[in-house]
Amino acid sequence: VIAYTTLTAGVFTLRPPHFSDAEDALATLTDPATAQWNPTPSVTDLASAQRWLERLGDWSDGKHATFSIVDPDGRYTGSVSLHHIVLDPGHIEQGNADIGYRVAPWARNAGVATHAVDTVTAWAFERLGVQRIQLFHAVANEASCRVATKAGYQLEGVLRSSSVYGDGRRYSDHLHARLVTD
Ligand SMILES: CC(C)(COP(=O)(O)OP(=O)(O)OC[C@H]1O[C@@H](n2cnc3c(N)ncnc32)[C@H](O)[C@@H]1OP(=O)(O)O)[C@@H](O)C(=O)NCCC(=O)NCCS
């Protein structure tokens, strides 16, 4: 079980998602760049955005910890999700997790994703005992590659034709990872 946690990333707060984030989360998820590189086709209106937030706000399976990034005015500004968390002793993937992120279109190119990813990474290493976090993004998504590199995630390789993104086409992905020992 992962205890619900609130973190600070500069002037931003990272806290579990809440249904009151719905209006700004809906605008973020339906933004064309998010719909392409981080598609969430189940979210189409306020009610489905609220259901999505409630689901991500439930950390009880111990396999994910999703944070809403909230600006100083309390406004939803994006999400960072640590998922595929494996903590079971004896599991071959023990100590591994994946990370993903999206930032609201009105808050981009100001370092928000980088700072939030770095903050969640430090928390996962220090508090959860995670030792390796993987980050996947389409090679074509250059902004995401910048976030990965700036947050200290080394490029480990290219996964050929590995994901179907929002436009329904297959793309190759970069695999980046950060180790607790980096
Ligand atoms: C990718 C995303 C999360 C970045 O969030 P952000 O808060 O703007 O990220 P940062 O400000 O920390 O860094 C963005 C970097 O990308 C660069 N960038 C932005 N658009 C770019 C483009 N079209 N081509 C190349 N670089 C680009 C910025 O210049 C910046 O790099 P710099 O600091 O070296 O100048 C945001 O654009 C987003 O949500 N996109 C849609 C969903 C998505 O792609 N999610 C990730 C899926 S893996």
pLDDT single digits (tens) 106-124: 999 999 999 999 999 999 9
Whether pLDDT at 4 is above 90: yes
For residue 161, is it left (φ>0), alpha (ψ between -120 and 50) or beta?
A: left
Average pLDDT of the residues in 23-42: 98
| Mean pLDDT on 145-152 | 98
* SS3 assignment, position 89: coil
**Mutation pick for ligand 1 pocket among 81, 98, 101, 109 (CB with most ligand atoms within 8 Å):** 109
DSSP H helices in 38-182: 46-56, 112-123, 142-150
Averaged over 46-57, what is the pLDDT?
Answer: 98
Sole residue written with tokens 């590199």: 149
- Asked whether the beta carbons of 9 and 121 are under 8 A apart, the reply is no
- Ligand 1 pocket, CB under 6 A: 33-34, 37-38, 101-103, 108-114, 137, 141-144, 146-147
